[in-house]
Each structure stands twice: as structure tokens, then as C-alpha cells.
Amino acid sequence: MRLRSVFTTSAGILTSRIFGFVRDLLMASILGANIFSDIFFVAFKLPNLFRRIFAEGAFVQSFMPTFIASRHRSVFAVAILIRFFLFLIAASLLVTLFSEPVTRLIAIGFDQQTIDMAAPLVAINFYYLDLIFLVTFLSALLQYREHFATTAFGTTLLNISMITALVLFRHEEPSYLVYALSFAVLAGGVLQLLLHLWMIRKKGLDRLLVGGFVYMRRKKEVVKEDIDRFSRAFFPSVLGNSTAQISSFIDTWLASFLVSGSISYLFYANRLFQLPLALFAIAASTALFPTISKLLKQEKIDKAKKETRKVFWLLFALLGGASAVAVILSEEIVKLLFERGAFTVNDTENTSMVLVMYIAGLLPFGMAKLFSLWLYASHRQREAAGIAARSLGVNILFSILLIAPMAAPGLALASSISGWVLLWLTMKAVGRELVFDIMHAKYATYALVFIAGVTAITWTVKVMIDGYI
């Protein structure tokens, strides 16, 4: 694994998130934080939840080790592709037929009129999941070849599509605009898929897929063991990789009981929280995982430790520095990005309070992502799932305890508390000796000095801004 792979992935994610913030800026200005923004975020929440679970680890971390070990990779890959895609198409049709009860489950606090408004949007947005699975499957093949740029930059197409819809339909009624945004989500998924198909062809991987289809019937029994191994690993991997995403989903569900705009406060704050998490932690783990999987299969443990050690303190420094900046300048960041048009001063204050609570969990969620690679690469998905389940239980408990006294910020704080539990349990499962071996490096002092320097500079900027105002 080369650090260039990490920086390539980070650059792609940064580009995508920049366009994402432009999208959110326009959305905040045009829609604001009200019932229409709430129903769109609810409609987009379910496919976006699964997108993050698929794209940010669950599928790849189950597929990659089995794919590497398989003696008939092309047939195995095509068998998984067919099974998943048929299942998702069936699920999408069911959501279309039963969109109202599905919407009620997602936002149980909505009244009947709001559910009636949101249900068609839920059905439309869910088809994005079918497209993004195909994208994730193709990206897994590209990652095996250690090509990360296409997937990292590809998400930008979704944001560009939604930005286009916002610009073209900005003068329409909000009830019409949310439909335009929903169809733009599907258009973005199609564009991502076409980009990945083009790169698959360019890398010569199309021959692997064609071969899999050709020999599928003849050799499907041969890969049955590989498919069973993947199936046993996948569902635990989903839970193991989705703690932050499920926590966000629970936040939305509970926030539907709060005052109008609470779901939007959580959405905008979580978007800011996800930026450094994706830019640093997810980028590093995505680039590192294929290498760790191959090295552990070859029983080159020391080399795998060395590769992990390369990014540990860099990741610690970047996440720590980002946390300091976000906490100290939370209100200024939200104001700069969102406070215009329909997004008011009161919305800024509420969103910034939620952001601070989310940021408290940035470091643990990021570091847990790094350490968990060792569990997935060594086929310990069930153990990772058990850890995630306990962390999620802590999140639910504290969400219930904190929602009444703290409202939306309490839900974000509960998520952060669960992140620290997740990190502790993951490090314990990986093993104290391995953790200390990875952490033992001369870069520790540099990382702490970097965080202290960023904190001091940020405080200075804060004082200057307050003095200017």
C-alpha cells in the first residue's frame, strides 16, 4: 500500500465533498430547514444509509478476502453480482408498493399528511441503491487492482446532478423541487455507473466479468464454498461497518418527534462531521485494506503491521486537528456554509451545537475504522459485528436518555459516546500487543505537536473573528 493511494482517495473524496457542500449550501438557501427539507432528507436517508454501508466497507471487506482466496474469481464475482442485484431489484419493487408503511418506519413521528407527502419520494430515492450496488461491485474489482481514483472522484457526479436540479428548479414550489432532487439522485447514480463501466473496460476487467458469465453454469458448484464463505461474512460485516451510519439513521428517526427542522439540523451537522471522517479515515482504510488482506493471506504479519503503522499517526494527527478546528469554530463554519436565504441565525446556532456533539466522536470512529481492518482481513467479521452491536446498544440507550434534556444535540452526543465504546472494544479484540506495536513509532510526538499547533492557531483565529465582529 502506497501513501499515494491514500492521498488519491482523499483528493477524490475532498472534491466530492466540496461539490457536496455546494449542494448543501444551495439546498439550505433554497429549501432552508423546514418540513420540505425534512421529507427529502427522510426520503434520501434510507438509500444513503445503505450507500455508505456498501461503499465504505461492508461489501468490499467481505468480498475482497474471499475473492483473493478464490480459485475461480470470475465465476465467484459474477455469482455474487447476480444474487445481490436480483435481491435489490426485488427490494426496490417492494418499497415502491409499500412506500407508505416504509416511510412510517423511517420517520415514525411524522403525521399522516407528512407521510403522504414523503412516501412517493422514498420510493423514487430507493432505486439509487440498485445503481450504487453495481458501482460498489465494480469499485471492488478496481480496488483489487489498487485503482482508487475512479470511485473516489465518482461520487462527485451525484452532487453535480443534484446541484443542477437545484439551479434549474430553484424558482419552483418546494413541493415540486423535492421531486426534481429525487430524480437527480437517480441520474447521479446512472452517471457513476457509466464512469465505472468505462474504467473496468480500460483496466481489462471486462474480460473477467465476461468469463464469469460464460462459465457460470459449468462451474457454479465449484464456487459454492466461496459463496457460502462470503455470505457468512457479509451480514456481520454490514453491522460491523455501519455503526456511525445506523447511529445517524436512529438520530433521524428520533428527531422526527422533535420540533420541525431538527432532522435538518442533524443532517447538516452530520454532513460536516462526515467530511473529515471520509477524507482521512475512510480514505486510509479503503487504500489500506487490499494490501492488508493480501499480506495476511501470505502470513506476512510484520509487513502488514508496518503498512498500518505508516498511516496510524498521520490519521491520528489529522483527525485530532480537524476535531479542534470544528469544535472551536463550529458556529463560524456553519454560518459561512449555510446561513443565507431560508437558513436563519437560529438554524446556525442549533446546527453548530449538534456539530460539536458529533465531533466528539470523530477520533474514535476514525481510529476504530483503521483497527477494524485487521478483523475483516482475517475473516473475523462476526466478532466485529458483535462489537458494533454493543456500541449500537450504547448509542440507543444514551439517545433515549439525552433526547428529552438536550433534544437534537443529545442525539449527536449519544452517537459520539458509542464511538468511544466502539474504539475501545475494537482495540481489545485486535489485541493489546498488536495495537501497541502499531502505535509504537517516533511520529507520536510530531502528531501531538501538530494537534496542539492547530488548536492554538484556531483559537487565535476565533479571537480575531470575535474581535472583528
Q: Which segment of 90-104, 247-261, 292-306, 447-461 scores lowest on mean pLDDT? A: 247-261
CA distance linking residue 383 with residue 237, whole number of Å = 9
Q: How is residue 272 annotated by DSSP?
A: H
| Greater model confidence, 243 or 420 | 420
What was the pLDDT predicted at 417? 93
Cβ distance 38 to 264 under 8 Å? yes
Query: pLDDT-derived band of residue 357, with 50, 70 and 90 as boundaries?
Result: very high
Q: Which of 6, 142, 123, 124 is nearest to 67 (CA)?
A: 142
Q: What is the dihedral of CA 129, 249, 36, 31, to 10 degrees?
A: -90
AA letter at 17:
R
- Quick one: cell of 366? 476514525
Report the C-alpha gap between 120 and 461 in whole angstroms. 46
- Residues 92, 98, 101, 103, Cα dihedral to 10°: 40
Residue 161 pLDDT: 93
Q: What is the DSSP string of 125-165?
A: HHTHHHHHHHHHHHHHHHHHTT--HHHHHHTHHHHHHHHHH
For residue 215, give the DSSP letter.
Answer: T
Quick one: cell of 135?
A: 458501482
- How far lies 102's CA from each of 94, 106, 265, 440, 442, in Å? 10, 6, 23, 49, 52
State mean pLDDT over 59-80. Answer: 81
For residue 248 the three cell numbers come to 445517524
Report the mean per-residue pLDDT for the chain.
83
Tell me if 154 sits within 8 A of 75, measured CB to CB: no
- Percent of the chain beyond pLDDT 70? 91
Q: Where are the domains of the chain?
A: 3-468
pLDDT computed for residue 198 by the predictor? 94
Residue range 274-304, pLDDT digits in tens: 888 888 887 787 778 778 877 887 778 888 8
- Asked whether 62 and 80 are in contact (CB, 8 A), the reply is no
Per-residue pLDDT of 147-195, as tens digits, reads 888 888 888 999 999 999 988 987 777 778 888 988 999 999 999 999 9
Q: Which of 385, 407, 409, 410 is nearest to 397 (CA)?
A: 410
CA distance 134 to 84: 9
State the pLDDT at residue 358: 94
Distance (Å, whole) CA 226 – CA 52 = 25
Asked whether the beta carbons of 42 and 103 are under 8 A apart, the reply is: yes
What Cα–Cα distance (Å) separates residue 364 from each residue in 277, 361, 426? 10, 6, 10
Choice between 58 and 322, residue whose per-residue pLDDT is larger: 322
Name the residue with cell 434520501.
44
Percentage of the chain with pLDDT > 90?
20
Q: How confident is the model at residue 469 (pLDDT cuts 50, 70, 90)?
A: low
- The answer to whether 61 and 376 have CB atoms below 8 angstroms apart is yes
Grid-cell match 452517471, residue found = 191
Asked if residue 1 has pLDDT above 60, the reply is: no
Distance CA 78, CA 70 (A): 13
Q: What is the pLDDT of residue 241?
A: 65
Three-state SS for 51-92 is HHHHHHHHHHHHHHHHHHHCCCHHHHHHHHHHHHHHHHHHHH
Distance CA 246, CA 242 (A): 6
- Phi and psi at residue 169, in whole multiples of 5°? -115, 20
